[in-house]
Amino acid sequence: MEALIEQFRSFLANERGLAYNTLESYTRDIRQFCKYLNGWHAGESLLAVRRGTIVAYMIFMERSGKSVATVARRLSALRCFYQWMHREGLVSEDPTVDLEAPRLQKKLPRVMSVAEVERLLEQPDPSTPIGLRDRAMLELLYATGVRVSEIVYLDTQDVNWELSYIRCRGKGGKERVVPFGSVAQLWLERYLRHARPRLARSGHDPALFLNHQGKRLTRQGFWKIVKKYARQAGISRAIAPHSLRHSFATHLLENGADLRAVQEMLGHADISTTQIYTHITRTRLREVYARAHPRA
């Protein structure tokens, strides 16, 4: 079983180009299924699993209190695993064919208003190197909508000053180019001129954003920064790591941006992922209508 799982992992890494965290998730889910087989279907081999066994596994997970999202994710991993084994000729039939995952109730992402974003961006003190770094970082995040993991892994060479864009690496190592505006460029230039040289210790780290030790800022460090400034700004609602990313997308669409362009900037492989933001804009329109129309 373990040899099969490792072969599958190599396939996902080399041919599908999946990120490390996704590889870990897929292989962990397959091992969970193996554990279930050993406990409840001891006579059944991974290579001879029947459709009914996978249905029983889904029921077992639901009765064990697993969330709908967990059941759906594990079925997705099994589906990918058995599709691979079927293509490789390791199994004669794919037991996951036509199995439907439980329907997920999509949660709308948390989006800040334009006023809240402006208050958040104004919190760092640009008279200090750390404050100037934070202002530049938050401005760039809101200007581009990139993921937190993408912004902390930016290097100085990833910024094109002449054309005003950054080159970032998203999920699966895929590269994309995202433009940024004049305000973000202004703060980035100030940071690189006045703050980064004071933060850099060795002068050899290529990271765009450095911490107080002169090393690349981490995701956890960035998240602490955002939470601190959100408290200072008096934003009472819970702020998630992707809040500025969600706000970037929603504010663009509210102001008439093309959905396909927003999809490209966010790095979504499927436009249905981007379409959730159109639902947010429709929801906001209904709220405005309900507040403003005398016969609402």
Query: How remote is the C-alpha of 277 from its chain's centroid?
Result: 15
Indicate which residue of 26, 57, 82, 277 is catalytic: 277
Indicate which residue of 79, 194, 215, 242 is catalytic: 242
Token pair recorded at residue 186: 């202004």
Indicate which residue of 31, 171, 190, 215 is catalytic: 171
Active site residue 212: no
Per-position DSSP letters for the chain, written without gaps between them: -HHHHHHHHHHHHHTS---HHHHHHHHHHHHHHHHHHHHH-TT--GGG--HHHHHHHHHHHHHTT--HHHHHHHHHHHHHHHHHHHHTTS-SS-TTTTPPPPPP-PPPPP---HHHHHHHHT-S-TTSHHHHHHHHHHHHHHHH---HHHHHT-BGGGEETTTTEEEEE-GGG-EEEEE--HHHHHHHHHIIIIIHHHH-SSS---BSSB-TTSSBPPHHHHHHHHHHHHHHTT--S---TTHHHHHHHHHHHHTT--HHHHHHHHT-SSHHHHTHHHHHHHHHHHHHHHHH-TT-
Cross-sheet strand order for the sheet of 165-169: 159-160, 165-169, 175-179
Indicate which residue of 196, 245, 246, 251 is catalytic: 245
What is the Cα–Cα distance from 194 to 187, expressed in whole angstroms? 10
Of the candidates 126, 48, 114, the residue with the CA atom closest to the CA atom of residue 254: 114
Active site residue 242: yes
Active site residue 237: no
Active site residue 35: no
Indicate which residue of 9, 215, 268, 284 is catalytic: 268
Indicate which residue of 133, 135, 147, 251 is catalytic: 147
Task: Name the residues annotated as catalytic.
Answer: 147, 171, 242, 245, 268, 277
